[in-house]
Structure 1
Amino acid sequence: MAEFRLLGEVEVLAGGDTANLGPARQRCVLAAMAVDVGRVVPVERLIDRVWGDDPPVRARAVLSTYTSRLRHALTALQAGRIVQRAGGYLLEAGKNAVDLHRFRELCAQARAEAGDDEQVVTTLTEGLRLWRGEALTGLHGDWVTVERNRLHEERLAAQYDLIDSQLRLGQSADLIAELTMRTANDPLDERVAGQYMLALYHSHRPADALKHYQRTRTRLVQELGVEPSDNLRQLHQRILADDPALSPPMVLGASASTRQPDPRVPRQLPADIPRFVGRDRYLVALDELSTLVTGAGHPVVITLDGAAGVGKTALAVRWAHRAGHRFPDGHLYVNLCGHVPQPPMKPADAAAALLGSIGTPADQIPSTLDGRSAMLRTALAGRQMLILLDNARHSDQIRPLLPGTGNLVLITSRNQLRSLTIREGARRVTVDTLDAEESEQLLTQSTPGSAGIDETVPQLLQLCQGLPLALAIAAERAAREPAAFPMERQYALDVLDSGDDATTDLRAVFSWSYDALSADTARMFRLIGTAPGIDISVPAAAALADVDTARARHLLDQLVATNQLHHKRPGRYQLHDLLRAYGAERSAEQDSPEQRSAAYRRLLHWLLHTAFNARPHLQASDSGLVPLPAIADIAAPAFVDQRHMLEWSAGERHNLIAGVRLAYDEGFDDLCWQLAYATWPALFLASAWHDAQDMYRLGLAAAQRCGDQTGQAHMLDGLGNAHRFDRRHLHAIEAHQQAIALFSDTNNVRGCALALSNLGASYRDVGRYEEALACCRKAYALSRECGEPGTMAISLRRIAETLTADGQPMDALPAGRQCLDLYREVGHLRGEATALQALAGVHFSTDRPETAIDHYRAAASVYRGLGDRRRQASTLTRLGECLSRTHRTGESREVRQQAMKIFEELGAP
Structure 2
Amino acid sequence: MRFRLLGPLRVWNGETWSPVRAAQQRVVLSMLLIEPGRVVSTDRLIDEIWGERQPPAAGPVLRGYVLRLRRLLDSAPVAGSALLTQPSGYELVAGAEDVDALIFDRLVASGRRSLADGDGERAVNDLSEALALWRGPALADVPVGPTIVGHVAALERARLAATVDYTAGQLYLGRHDEIIGELERLVALHPLLERLWEHLVLALHRSGRRADALDAYRRARTVLTAELGLEPGRRLQDLQRAILAERRSAADRQRSTDPADSPAVSASSVPRQLPADPGEFTGRTEELRHLDTIVSADDRRTVATVITGAAGVGKTALAVHWAHRVAGRFPDGQLYVNLRGYDPDQPMVATEALAGFLTALGLAGRAIPAGLDERAARFRTEVSGRRMLIVLDNAASVEQVRPLLPGTGTNAVVVTSRDSLAGLVARDGAQRLDLDLLPARDARALLDRLVGGRAEPDGMAALVQRSGRLPLALRVVAELANSRADRSLADLADELADQQRRLELLDAGGDPRAAVTAVFSWSIRHLPPDAGRAFRLIGLFPGPDLDACALGALADTASGPARRALDTLTRANLLYRTATDRYAVHDLLRAYAAGLAATDLDPSDRRAALQRLFDHYVTAGSAAAERPDTGRHWLDVERRTLVRVVAHAAAHGWPTHAVRLAAVLHDHLDSGGWYTDAIAVHTQARDAAEQIGDRSAHAHAWYGLGVTHLRLGTHATAGQCLRLALDRFRQTGDRRNEVRTRLALGVLHAQTGRRAAAAADFQRAAEQSGDLGDDGSRVNALINLGIVAAQAGRHDAAAGHLGHAVDISRRLGDRRRQADALVNLGVLDGWAGRHAAAAGHCEEALALYRRVGDRAGEARALHNLGEVQGCLGHDAEAAVAYERARAIFREIGDRVGEAQTTDPAADVPGVVDD
Normalization by structure 2: what TM-score? 0.45
Normalization by structure 1: what TM-score? 0.45
Q: Which has the larger radius of gyration?
A: 1
The structure showing larger relative contact order (alpha-carbon pairs under 8 Å, at least 6 residues apart) is 2
